[in-house]
Structure formats: structure tokens, C-alpha cells
Structure 1
Amino acid sequence: MVASEFLRRLYTKGGEPAPDKSIGYYADDNRLVPALRSALQEDEWEEIYESPLGVFLKFHDLDFGWASRLVHHMLTFQIVCKQRYEIWSLIGTTPVRFSLHEFEEITGLNCGYVDDLALADLELSDEMRAFWELMGVDVESGPSSIEIIEACFNCSSWSQDDRLRLGYLGIYAGFIVATRPGLSTNVNHARLVIDLEGLKEFPWGRIAFQHLIKSVKEKDLSKNIHIEGFVQALQVWVYYALPDFAAEFSEPLPNDPTPLLWLTKDQEDERTSKPTC
């Protein structure tokens, strides 16, 4: 298929927004993981670290460098896409896709399908109510990152299961949805931490991807923006879409790692500061 058969570009060629506006993010807040690490016992931390959601803690250990301009360029090369959960960008005349499939390959998260992803019929159990009271949050709201950080300083007398729940809540709020630290998270998804075994089987990758792609598609790249969700997956996607660039500025982690997270070497102006609010 030739380039002329594709839908029009999102931005006219040559008229793309200049990369002089920053793309910030909330994922991997520099306060949350240290707070969780200090709150959890060594065996508790290890259990979460080696769980299906431990990929985010392992990512945190990479000291990943954020290349705002690079991601900005890739997003301005988009072509108009009617698919709600896909992005297509042109590299020259070659289209490259960012979809649930690519997100799953990059993160290694469970992105399986479930009939009720929103968990509309999830009941509020007595155990849920008790844990929310322990957290000190409204029973009808999902804890924010700030509330989770505050709980980390008051959980020393909690049971091991409750501290594990706090740890998983931190991953959910700080990486999977990764919105402004003071905003409440989706209460139904947050309540899944009550079932410590069941939550490991839930397709958190699908939740993370949908949240990220929605945030990306609603942003105006001509302005300074913050993208919610695990935005770093976009940067890894760019490296795979631009192998020559990746060969010069980054390298794969040793021993062919899974998931496909890359550790960048570029430490120049493309980095942007993480938000502190």
C-alpha cells in the first residue's frame, strides 16, 4: 500500500507543532516508590517485585531518561486514525502502529480481554470498607497517590496483607493510571487489591493502555502538556520504530530482556523534569 492511500495526516506536513513545548508526565513520581520501599518489609517488597505488577518497580530501577522532544516528534507524525485505541505515525512513507499489541510487547503486562473491564457490578464488601477506613479515604473514592504516600508513614502496625494491598495500590495509582497526585483513582479498580491473588490475574495492561491512549489522543501538542498513564511505553515504541536512532542513543538491556524496556543514554535537552505538584 502506498502512502497516498492512507488517511490524511493529523498535522499538515511541514506544519507540525514545533517541539518547543514540553510533554510532562506523572508516572513514576519520585516520592511514591521510595515511600512504598520504606513502608514494606523486605519479604513484602520482594513479593510485589516478583509479581506480574512488579514490572513497574523494575522499571523504576532503570532510572529511565525521558526524551520529550523525541516523543513529541513521533506524535506529530500521526495520521488520522478512526480506531479509538490505536495511534499510527508515518516514518517517511512507512506507517508504524502503537496499539494494545505493542503496549503488551513493551511492558509484558497482562492485556487480556474481560467482559466487564469497568467492574460495574463490584460489591462493596465489609473487608473493603474496613481497609478504606484504615487508609483514611472516602469509601466511594479510589485513593490518590498523595493519600497512598501518607498511608506509607502510618502502616507499620498494619497486617502484612494490608501492607501488600497498600503496595499494589501504589503501583496502580503511580504507574497504571498515573494521573495528578491529588486526584482520586477509579474506586472499582482500586478495590481489587482486597483479593491479593485475584488482582494478579486481572488485565492491568489493558487498563494501563486504555488510560494512556485516551490521554494522548485528547492532548493539544501545540501546548505544554502532561500525559497521564505509563507514558514511557511510548518512548520505547519510538526506539523500536526508529532503529537507527536507537542504535546511536540507546541500547537494549542485557540478555534480551522481557519486557522490552530500554535504558536510554541521551542525557541532553530532551529530558524534562517530572512534576512536583
Structure 2
Amino acid sequence: MVASEFPRRLYTKGFEPVPDKSIGYYSDDYRLVHALKLALQEDEWEEIYESPLGVFLKFHDLDFGWASRLVHHMLTFQIVCKQRYEIWSLIGTTPVRFSLHEFEEITGLNCGYVDDLALTDLALSDDTRAFWELMGVDTESGPSTIEIIEACSNCSSWSRDDRLRLGYLGIYAGFIVATRPGLSTNINHARLVMDLEGFKEFPWGRIAFQHLINSVKEKDLSKNIHIEGFVQALQVWVYYALLDFAAEFGEPLPNDIQPLLLAYKGSRGRKNVKANMLKQDIVLKLKSTTEVFD
């Protein structure tokens, strides 16, 4: 497919919106992670750390360098995509995709299909009501990040399972949906925490991806924006798609680390990011030509 056959760009080439302020986000809240670490016993923290959702805590430990300008440029390179849960961006004349498949590759999260992802029939049990009251949260609302932080200072006398529930709710609120700290989370998804084993195995990757991509698609990139959800996955997506660029600008960690989310330190404040991203297209075309003649 030649460039002229691609759908139109969201922004005219060469006239993409220039980033003014850094893209705002709510994920990887240091106050929340710090509060959880103080609230949980060492073995409780370790259990969550080594669980399927522990990838977020391991990511936090990287002190990942957020590169807002890099993500902004990648999003302004978008072409019109009618698929609700896909983004396509053109790097020069090379299209790269961000979909549930790439998100799963990057994060290693469970992105499996379930019939009722919204859990519309989940009832309020007596145990759930008691735990919500213990946290000091309205029984008809999912706990906000602020409410979870506040509960962390009052949980020393709780049972081990209840502190684990608090820890998993912190990951749900602070990384998976990562919305404004004072905003209530989805009540049905939050209630799943009463079954600790079921909570760990739920396809949270699908929830995290949908929340992120819905937030991205509703933004006007010509304005200052905040993105909800685990926005750092978009930066790692750039590294995923542009390997030579990633080697120079992503501060890759040694050895073959999986998932890819944990393979880069990220970088802040690099100059000429856009020019170096577009240079990648030349590299890709040269590689393609080499493969043809090999």
C-alpha cells in the first residue's frame, strides 16, 4: 500500500499541533504507592508484587521517565481510524498500530474475552457492604484514589485479606483506570476484590486498554490535555514500534526483560524527538529493501 492509499491524517502533514504543556495524567500516583507500601505488611506487599497485577508496582520501581512530547507527536501522526479500539499512526509512510494486541504485548496483562465485561449483574453482598464501610466508602460507589489513600492510614488492625483487598483496589484505581484522584471508580469492577483469586485472574488488561483508548480518542491534541488510564503504555508503544529509536532514546535495560513495559527506563527532555522519530521510517524502508534483495 502506498502512502496515498492511507486514510486521511487527523492533522495535515507538517502542521500537526505543537505541544505546549506536558500531557497530564493520573496513573502511577506516587502518593498512592507510598501509602500502600506503608499500609501493607512486607509479605502482603510481596504477594501483590508477584501477582499478575504486580507488573504495575514493578513499573513504578523503574522510576520511568515520562516523555510527553514523544507521546504527543505519535498521537498527532494519527490517521483516521473507524475502529473504535484502534489507533494508527504514520511514521513517515510506515503505519503502526496501537490495539488490544499491542497493549497485551507491552503490559503482559490478561486481556482475555469475557461475555459481560461490565459485570452488570454483580450484586452487593453483606461482606462487600461490611468492607466498604470499613474503608469509609459509600456502598454504591467504587472507591476513589483519595479514599484508598485515606484508608491506608487506618488499616493496621484489619485482617490480612482486607489489607490485600485495599492493595489491589489501589492498583485498580491508580493504574488500571487512573482517573482523577477524587473520582469514584466503577462499582461493579471494584466489588470483584472480595474474591481475591478471581480479582487477580480477571482480564484487567482489557479494562485498562479500553479506558486508555477511550480517553485518548476524545482528546483535542491542539489543546492542553489530561489522559486517563495507564498512559505510559503509549510511550512504550513508541519503543515497541520503533526499535532503533527505542535503542537510542528509550534507555533500554540490559537482558531480555518481559513484558516490554519493564524493559525501558524511558527518557525526559530529549531534543529533536520528532525528527528522530521520522528518521525511523527511512530505517524501516531500508530494512525492507534489504529483505527483498536477500
Equivalent in the alignment of 1:273: none
Q: Deviations over 1:66-102 (max 9, x none)?
A: 0000100000000000000000000111100000000
Residue identity opposite 2:268 in structure 1: Q
**Shift of residue 269, structure 1, vs aligned partner:** 6.3
Q: Aligned with 1:253: secondary structure? A: coil
Residue identity opposite 2:25 in structure 1: Y
Equivalent in the alignment of 1:198: 198
Q: Aligned with 2:30: secondary structure? A: coil
Residue identity opposite 1:185 in structure 2: T
Hey, what's the Cα distance between the residues in 2 that align with 1:213 and 1:161?
33
Identity %: 88
Equivalent in the alignment of 2:265: 264
Equivalent in the alignment of 1:153: 153
Equivalent in the alignment of 1:140: 140
C-alpha contact (below 8 Å) 1:21/1:222 kept by paired residues: no
Matched, 1:115 2:98: no
Matched, 1:212 2:212: yes
Q: Which moved more, 1:19-28 or 1:42-51?
A: 19-28
Equivalent in the alignment of 1:275: none
Hey, what's the Cα distance between the residues in 2 that align with 1:83 and 1:196?
34
Matches for 1:1-277 after TM superposition, within 5 Å: 1-261=1-261, 262-264=263-265, 266-268=267-269
Q: 5+ unaligned residues in a row in structure 2: which ranges? A: 272-294
Q: Deviations over 1:4-51 (max 9, x none)?
A: 111100111122101223211100011000100000001100110000
Structure having greater relative contact order (Cα 8 Å, sep ≥ 6): 1
Hey, what's the Cα distance between the residues in 2 that align with 1:265 and 1:179?
22
Equivalent in the alignment of 2:274: none
Residue identity opposite 1:7 in structure 2: P
Alignment size in residue pairs: 270
Residue identity opposite 2:127 in structure 1: E
C-alpha contact (below 8 Å) 2:66/2:266 kept by paired residues: no
Q: Aligned with 1:90: secondary structure? A: strand
Instruction: Go from structure 1 to structure 2 and tell me whether the alpha carbon gap of 1:166 and 1:215 turns closer, same or farther (over 3 Å shift).
Output: same
Residue identity opposite 1:266 in structure 2: S
C-alpha contact (below 8 Å) 2:48/2:54 kept by paired residues: yes
Q: Aligned with 1:175: secondary structure? A: helix
Q: Aligned with 1:52: secondary structure? A: coil
**Shift of residue 257, structure 1, vs aligned partner:** 1.2
Rg (Cα) greater in structure: 2
Q: Which moved more, 1:258-267 or 1:136-145?
A: 258-267
Hey, what's the Cα distance between the residues in 1 that align with 2:268 and 2:234?
18
Hey, what's the Cα distance between the residues in 2 that align with 1:189 and 1:200?
12
Residue identity opposite 1:59 in structure 2: F
Hey, what's the Cα distance between the residues in 1 that align with 2:270 and 2:130?
48
Q: Aligned with 1:60: secondary structure? A: helix
C-alpha contact (below 8 Å) 1:21/1:221 kept by paired residues: no
Q: Which moved more, 1:81-90 or 1:260-269?
A: 260-269
Residue identity opposite 2:134 in structure 1: L
Residue identity opposite 1:84 in structure 2: R
**Shift of residue 225, structure 1, vs aligned partner:** 0.7
C-alpha contact (below 8 Å) 2:175/2:229 kept by paired residues: yes
TM-score (norm. length: structure 1) = 0.95
Cα RMSD for the two superposed structures: 1.2
**Shift of residue 249, structure 1, vs aligned partner:** 1.8
Hey, what's the Cα distance between the residues in 1 that align with 2:179 and 2:66?
17
